[in-house]
Structure 1
Amino acid sequence: MKTGGCHLKKNLQIWTVVILTLFLFPVIIQFIPEESKISNSKIIKENALIVYASNIVEEEVPDEEPEMIVEAEPEQKIGNLLLYFTHSTEAYQPITKNIDGKVAVSHHQTENVIRMGDKLKAQLDLYGLETDTFKKAVPYTRAYQDMRPYVKKRISEKEYDLIIDIHRDSVGPEKTTLVHGTERYAKVAFVVGTDNPNYKKNEAMTNRLKEEMEKRIPGITRNVIPKGGAGVDGKYNQDLHPNIILLELGGIGNTEDELSRTIAVIAESIKEIIDQIEEK
């Protein structure tokens, strides 16, 4: 009986402590310093804020957009020009001699007026002019008749503002060379076929190019040579289009430097004419 009384006494003591603690806790908590409460509360709030901010950042980051590639617009070309070569193998003796190291010849398969035409095209391209080159080799004899169907076909396929048939004159350098300032130029002559019933239109465009060249380098052109009647072609296919110009670029004895300087003047003059056409 004594042992049971001891257990009962201990139980009563435990319950007494528990009950006192529950009643006294509200009183005790009032004596805890306010700073301690604020600090604990602040830590809880800051932790909550940090977590919340992290979530917001994740939600606000947009998906990475693919990089935009802006394609450059193609250069706008102006005008429509055609270069062709009825006598495609006509060459310049100083050039062929330098290339082959042999006695100069007046005809060559590669060093000829076609290569000069490529130089002119390159200059015209720099000015933004749309330029086609037509390189069809035909036999030298009856060249205009053999070339005619090819030129006619090209003209029917596309509308051109200016067409130039590039040749080389057979006269010597004393007639085809100009010294202007400190530079030497190959002089240019023109041919107009008067058996073409509308040759006046070709002549007008030819004179237009001649005048533009003379404005830049006085004396760089020779004459506009009219040809018709017996013993000559008389049309030179100029009847196929009112703006076909037959141009004699230098002569048999002109050097590449002289020709290149003249080609630059021709290109600049053509650009001026095309600009005038575009304005209209």
Structure 2
Amino acid sequence: MKSKIKVILPSILILISILLGSITVYADDWYEDEGYFTIYIEDSKETLFMIARKVEVGDQYLSEDNKLYEVTEIDDKEYIGYAKYKEDVELPEISSIEEQALVSMAQGQERKIGIYHTHSDESYEPSDGTYSIDGKGGIYKVGDALTKGLENNGIKVDHRQNLHLPHDAGAYRRSRPTAQDTLKNGPSAIFDVHRDAIPPEQYAFKLKDKDATKVRMVLGQRNQNIEKNKNLAYKLKAVADEMYPGMIKDIFMGKGNYNQDMAPNTILLEMGAHKNTREAAENTANAFADVIKVAVFGGEETTAPTQEQPRKTVRNDNPAATDNTGSGKGIFIVLAVAAVLGIGFLFISSGGKELRSKFGDTFSSFIGRKKK
């Protein structure tokens, strides 16, 4: 019996590890030194979007003009795919009043945001001299700019400096403890800040007459918080569309998880691409803090006038911070897997006799006895 257990137990433990790994990091990271997917609109063959992440059939994409598409075909060898139009999406209602100041809401609540960087090495070639640094890449300075903007809005920020090197398919697994520690401080939202790796013109943007970058939001569909995370992403886009039209490039909803199962209101941000300047991404990050403030905590923000638009006050009366409680479905899946494997182990190690003697009557009464 002991020899049988010694043989079976390691196999059970390996299987548990594989299953747990598949739950937490499945499809989270597509790692290539170079290359990105180009997705075309199914009927017109017009380019819909490019992304340096794994794209799969069933992934969804919300364009800058709020049209929702679904990926229908992927060629992994050529890095191309096709998507079909599904519907126009109506974003949450955000009021916008020109030249009028309003009294801010949510003054009394403690406001906290968490920021970390799964891909620690990510950098901006024109500013940092390379696209990847073996240590803290330029992406941390973009996180600093976002932190400064939030703090200027009276928001407490936990900007983690942890490294999760190397930049490979295990990065999200290594950044998971960082996200977990950040959650202990009770933030209303957490942002994993990245930069993309597609042509720089895809992210080029002007903000307050300065060079900036657009922002892509990435959501993982393979977790129980997808609807709440989508709600926050849509709210961020709705606010940004009023405050800084064109800032939000799009929203990609892939088959991955990106550690977003850990809590609701968790979003991955792509701030520009590797060949945009870091300074441009910093300009966007600083302004995006205003968007986060209004979308997450409610109230309003008055924008400065520019050549493109007059001064306006943007207000949100339905803050996302009121919807930051998640379900425990992820951990229940883990426990269920462990229970099934444990029963299987007992069955194999005892030859099934022990289980039959202990649970036979119960199982029989539950499923009914076979007819003779």
TM-score with structure 2 length normalisation?
A: 0.48
Q: Does the aligned pair in 2 maintain the 1:186–1:258 contact within 8 Å?
A: yes
Distance 1:197 1:77 in 2: 27
Tell me which residue corresponds to 2:237. Answer: 210
Relative to structure 1, the CA distance from residue 187 to residue 93 in structure 2 (aligned partners, 3 Å threshold; closer, same or farther) is same
Q: Which runs of 5+ in 2 are unaligned?
A: 1-107, 299-318, 323-372
Aligned counterpart for 1:170 among listed residues 194, 197, 207: 197
Query: Deviation of residue 189 (structure 1)?
Result: 0.5
Distance 1:117 1:216, change over 3 A: same
SS at match of 1:210: helix
2:58 alignment counterpart: none
Q: Larger radius of gyration, structure 1 or 2?
A: 1
Q: Among residues 114, 117, 120, which one is paired with 1:88 in the alignment?
A: 120
Say which SS state the counterpart of residue 189 (structure 1) adopts.
strand
**Structure 1 residue 122 corresponds to structure 2 residue 160:** no
Is the 1:213–1:265 Cα contact (8 Å) retained in structure 2?
no
Say yes or no: does 1:153 pair with 2:181: yes
TM-score if structure 1 supplies the norm length? 0.63
1:134-173 Cα distance to aligned partner (Å, 9 max, x none): 1211122201111112322331x22110110000001121
- Distance in 2, Cα, partners of 1:89 & 1:278: 31
* Mapped partners of 1:138, 1:111: distance in 2: 11
Q: Supply the AA of the counterpart residue of 1:145.
A: R
| Alignment-derived partner of residue 137 in structure 1 | 163
Identify, as 1 or 2, the structure richer in helix.
1
Shift of 1:225: 0.4
Q: 1:275 to 1:87 in 2, by over 3 A?
A: same
Moved over 4 A (4+): none
- Asked if structure 1 preserves the Cα contact closer than 8 Å seen for 2:138 and 2:278, the reply is no
Q: Aligned with 2:145: secondary structure?
A: helix
Superposed displacement of residue 243, structure 1: 0.5
- The alignment partner of 1:204 has SS state of helix
1:43-89 per-residue CA deviation (whole Å, 9 max, x = no partner) reads: xxxxxxxxxxxxxxxxxxxxxxxxxxxxxxxxx88411100110111
Q: Give, in whole Å, the separation in 2 of the partners of 1:114 and 1:77.
A: 28
Whichever residue aligns with residue 161 of structure 1, its letter is S
Q: Distance in 2 between matches of 1:206 and 1:239?
A: 15
Distance in 2 between residues matched to 1:79 and 1:181, nearest whole Å: 27
Confirm or deny: 8 A CA contact 1:89 1:114 kept in the other structure. Answer: no
Structure 1 vs Structure 2: percent identity of aligned residues?
A: 28
Aligned residues: 194
**Is 2:289 the partner of 1:263?**
no
- Per the alignment, do residues 249 and 180 of structure 1 end up closer, same or farther by CA in structure 2, a change over 3 Å counting? closer
Aligned: 1:79 with 2:84:
no
Q: Deviations over 1:91-133 (max 9, x none)?
A: 0011113xxxxxx434453441111111111111111111111
Change (3 A) 1:193 1:260: same
Is 2:228 the partner of 1:201? Answer: yes
Q: Deviations over 1:196-247 (max 9, x none)?
A: 133111111112112222212211111110110xxxxx10000101110100
CA–CA distance in 1 between the matches of 2:158 and 2:132? 26
- SS in structure 1 opposite 2:146? helix
Distance 2:227 2:202 in 1: 27
Letter of the 2:151 counterpart: D
Alignment-mate amino acid for residue 226 of structure 2: Y
The residue aligned with 2:96 is none
